[in-house]
A and B are shown apart, each in its own frame.
Chain A
Amino acid sequence: MSAPTLDRPVPDETALQQQFDATIAADHRIEPRDWMPEGYRKGLIRQIAQHAHSEIIGMQPEGDWLLAAPSLRRKAILLAKVQDEAGHGLYLYSAAETLGADRADLTDKLIERKQKYSSIFNYPTLTYADVGVIGWLVDGAAICNQVPLCRSSYGPYARAMIRVCKEESFHQRQGYELLMTMMRGTDAQRAMVQDSVDRWWWPSLMMFGPPDDDSPNSAQSMAWGVKRHTNDELRQRFVDMSVPQAEVLGVTLPDPELALDPETGRYRFGAIDWSEFKQVLAGNGPCNDERIARRRAARDDNAWVTEAATAYADKHAAVSA
């Protein structure tokens, strides 16, 4: 950020690009003050903002059960989890700000639908089992996506992701533990868990994004070390991890084609309905409007609070100056 001085000549762009490429090739980290190509900066802001938005929108489906959690212990666990998600959003917006983005501007882009968030949060939570299934499958899929990002080439993002992943893994265990408890409960509880798994399984697989041959941003992200594995690789990993967990739980995953391939030791699974994914991504999911409307209301109805805080800070900065 400091102005160039005479004894430190400005390196030309080619030299800077070479230095950047060498850092990436050596698997070292790019830090906020380092030179970086504009495409790298923009792509990262897009990715981190989308991730931050997903954390914040992701508070809503489970947050809808906060007031009706079935025990005080479950209420405490859920409230702490939703609070963690707000915290994740904060780290991630901060990471985006190290690249020159502005949180308020990113929030506006979310509300104006100029930036996306994970489509999974456009599905409704119909029963308390959904809280457990979101923990197990949705957070599980998120972890598969995010653990490799702990090695992202961009330092602030990588460091934020380490903390995010640790907390997500608690959430996943808590979700799974809720489901185990419900499966040991009444017939109605077991039916609730199965119904929830039926509804969330396919959308969870879609969380990894389009298949590799239809993923527009993947190749460049891989080359820059922002992304470490392809969508299909991560999706396979998630399926392989989840099938044995479903068996322990005693639920059936809603895919008749799901079978262990004896040659590869991996699970084959049925074709994903990408038309549904595209519909939800295009804004036509069951809850898209509701999710955005709540963010808009939080911003607009409380704008006076933010204005007051700014006015107060200005007033008192002026007094103490």
Chain B
Amino acid sequence: MAHEETVYEALDHAHGGEGQWAFGTGFDEPLAGVDTTVPEGIDPADLGAYCLMLGDDALVLCQRLTQWVTNAPELEEEVALANCGLDLLGQARLLLARAGSVGVLGRSRERATASIPDEDALAYFRDPDEFRHSGLVEAPNGDFGQTVVRLLAASAWRLALLTRLRESRDPVLAAIAAKGVPELTYHRDHAARWVLRLGDGTPESHRRTQAGVDAVWPLLADLFTATDVETRLTAAGVAADPAELVDEVRDVLTLVLERATLTVPEWPTPQPSRGRAGEHSAEFTALLTELQSTAREHPAATW
């Protein structure tokens, strides 16, 4: 039988052959089948709060990267930025599901109907001040230069962190981190290559990218001071102290910027994170309103 006939035959069956579906047909939560027992000595409330911080970082940066889709400079970049976004979305789903699995759902569970899985209750039915991501990921994209500088900074930070979290005493978090490390290695590499091209490209690209660096740098102040949750979880062997990441992140960023002939601004003085405390910008409220619009318009719907 000719190839085309067999393809038609396959398409004619509205049902069956479900193994061929790209994403499966079920509504399994991301952690379905995984033992989510919390090891002894770990406070589930702290673990969940920590997963929210890291999950929100990934979700919000995914949303920012997705804003480039259909607007990117090259088709290759449409594919690459969507790829980074998809990786981060996958990490966000796992981390939000982990938070849900230990009962950290805040008021989202009261707002979302029972049929909505935890990951979606957390993403779609929390208000802005219940989000725990850093200021670095929520800032608007700016131009492509600023976008790749932010992606470089965010992925360098997250890679340094997830590399350490592979040893976390929470086996679920350790597994999520292990999955994320190769993804972030690619994101960091991709962003670094662009920073090199743009910094050392034309006078205009140099100027724009330096402006991007100058806009992104102050946001790094938010990343390296432990919250109380992180301090307790670091002592319990679950989290990594963000202060320990400074040297690695600064070294990576300095190396790339210098190679790109860009000026490395003075390293900002670390300060307690406003984002981790739920303080966010008006731009984030706008971003979140759009993200949640369809889900909140149809609260009883299943998707």
Does chain A have a CB within 8 A of B119? yes
B200 touches A186 (CB 8 A): no
User: CB < 8 Å: which of A73, A87, A302 contacts B27?
Assistant: A73
Q: Name the residue in A63, A71, A77, A151 with the highest tally of chain B Cβ atoms < 10 Å from its Cβ.
A: A71
Does chain A have a CB within 8 A of B86? yes
User: CB < 8 Å: which of B15, B143, B291 contacts A68?
Assistant: B291
A67 touches B298 (CB 8 A): no
Q: Would you give the shortest CB distance from A159 to chain B, in whole angstroms?
A: 12
Please, which residue of chain B has its CB at the minimum distance from the CB of A139? Answer: B11
Please, which residue of chain B has its CB at the minimum distance from the CB of A189? Answer: B301
Residues of B within 8 A of A82 (CB): 69-70, 82
User: CB < 8 Å: which of B69, B119, B143, B204 contacts A59?
Assistant: B69
A86 with B301, Cβ < 8 A, contacts A67-B63, A67-B290 known: no
B residues 236-270 touching A (CB-CB < 8 Å): none
A59 touches B300 (CB 8 A): no
Residues of B within 8 A of A170 (CB): 20-22
A244 touches B14 (CB 8 A): yes
Give the distance in Å from the alpha carbon of A66 to the alpha carbon of B134 in the complex: 23
Does chain A have a CB within 8 A of B123? yes
B303 touches A71 (CB 8 A): yes
Does chain A have a CB within 8 A of B74? yes
User: CB < 8 Å: which of A144, A148, A173, A297 contacts B21?
Assistant: A173
A70 touches B82 (CB 8 A): no
Binds B, one of A40-48, A199-207, A209-217, A305-313: A305-313
A83 touches B120 (CB 8 A): no
Does chain B have a CB within 8 A of A188? yes
Binds B, one of A28-36, A111-119, A177-185, A269-277: A177-185
A309 touches B78 (CB 8 A): no
B20 touches A173 (CB 8 A): yes
Does chain B have a CB within 8 A of A157? no
- Tally chain A residues at the interface, Cβ within 8 Å: 72
A308 with B198, Cβ < 8 A, contacts A76-B23, A77-B23, A83-B83 known: yes
B21 touches A177 (CB 8 A): yes
Give the distance in Å from the alpha carbon of A72 to the alpha carbon of B291 in the complex: 10
Please, which residue of chain B has its CB at the minimum distance from the CB of A177? Answer: B25
A72 touches B93 (CB 8 A): yes
A70 touches B144 (CB 8 A): no
Q: Would you give the shortest CB distance from B96 to chain A, in whole angstroms?
A: 8
B119 touches A172 (CB 8 A): no
* Complex interface bits, A248-283 against B, C-beta within 8 A gives 1, otherwise 0: 110000000000000000000000000000000000
Tell me the A residues contacting B by CB distance below 8 Å.
Answer: 56, 59-60, 63, 65-77, 79-80, 82-83, 86-87, 89-90, 93, 128, 140, 143-144, 147-148, 150-151, 162, 165, 169-170, 172-174, 176-178, 181-182, 184-186, 188-189, 237, 241, 244-245, 248-249, 294, 297-298, 301-302, 304-309, 311-313, 315
Given contacts A172-B11, A178-B303, A185-B301, 14 further A-B contacts (CB under 8 A): A59-B78, A68-B290, A82-B82, A83-B82, A128-B294, A143-B11, A150-B4, A186-B301, A189-B301, A241-B12, A245-B14, A249-B14, A294-B71, A305-B198
Tell me the B residues contacting A by CB distance below 8 Å.
Answer: 2-4, 7-8, 10-12, 14-15, 20-23, 25, 27, 59, 63, 66-67, 69-76, 78-79, 82-83, 85-86, 89-90, 92-93, 96, 116-117, 119-120, 123-124, 143-145, 196-198, 200-202, 204-205, 208, 290-291, 293-295, 298, 300-303
